[in-house]
Amino acid sequence: MNEGVLLVNKPDGMTSHDVVSRVRRKFNTKRVGHAGTLDPLATGVLVVLVGKATKLSNNFVTFDKAYKSTMIFGRSTDTADTEGKLLAEKPYDHVTRGDLDKVIESFRGEIDQLPPMFSAVKHKGKKLYEYARKGIVVEREPRRITVHQLEILKFDPPYVEFYVECSKGTYIRQLASDIGDKLGCGACISKIERTRVGEFRIEDAVTIEDMNESHIRNWKS
């Protein structure tokens, strides 16, 4: 069978591991992995590596990424998205488009971001979400990330649609939460689509239902 890179347009509700399992069954091979996890809530470009290409995963995780997302003002959750436990509700009527424009300016460029507890970042050999599921919050160190582009696409409170181009290790859920905190109303993600990973774009991704061996492209690095 072919070996290489398969670009999957991950549907909402599936984990990245679910996608890998489907690819294994579809192509009858165990040597399948992915480069860069997407949350179950998230859709879009998932880079799946098949066969010997699984050894190249580190080459892909360093790529910049792009996302189109929607956040909801006035709600804070433990996962920073709508699937999490509600922690607080605050009024958002006072937030204007001008307020938002001023706040997001401080999130462009190089910034320090605290990894969310519901993430795969490791602490003492365990992933943070393993602690979070037990209700344990551990101390984390902020990480330096780069937000190359951050633009508001639609302002319709409580919903705000935005576009981000960013470096590896950027958590869009945390970005929305931090923006909401700075506005004083809180925010969480309701929708997120990864539109690009490096040179790989959503337009070139295939659905789970339609994927076949012709979609596996050679990759050498």
pLDDT digits (tens, 9 = 90+) for 107-127: 999 999 998 887 777 878 888
Query: What are the residue boundaries of the structural domains of the chain, listed by start?
Result: 4-62+198-215, 65-196
Q: Give the Cβ contact number of residue 215 at 10 Å.
A: 17
**pLDDT at residue 70, rounded to an integer:** 98
Q: Is the dihedral of CA 89, 93, 96, 102 positive or negative?
A: negative
Give the tens place of pLDDT for each residue, 11-48: 999 999 999 999 999 999 999 989 888 988 999 999 99
Tokens matching residue 27: 């192509």
- Tell me phi and psi for residue 189, to 5 degrees: -85, 135
Check 12, 18, 39, 81 and give the catalytic one: 39
4-62+198-215, CATH topology level: Pseudouridine synthase (3.30.2350)
Instruction: Name which of 75, 206, 64, 68 is nearest 148 in CA terms.
Output: 64
Q: Is the dihedral of CA 106, 35, 119, 195 positive or negative?
A: positive
4-62+198-215 matches 65-196 in fold:
yes
Which residues partner with 185 through β-bridges?
none
User: Residue written as tokens 């999957």?
Assistant: 8
3.30.2350.10, 3.40.190.10, 3.40.1280.10, 1.10.1740.10: CATH of 65-196: 3.30.2350.10
The CA distance from 148 to 110, in Å, is 8
Low-confidence residues of the chain: pLDDT under 50? none
Active site residue 78: no
d(CA 69, CA 171): 12
pLDDT at 119: 78
pLDDT of residue 127: 82
166 has which bridge partners?
65, 147
Does residue 64 contact residue 198 with C-beta atoms inside 8 Å? Answer: yes
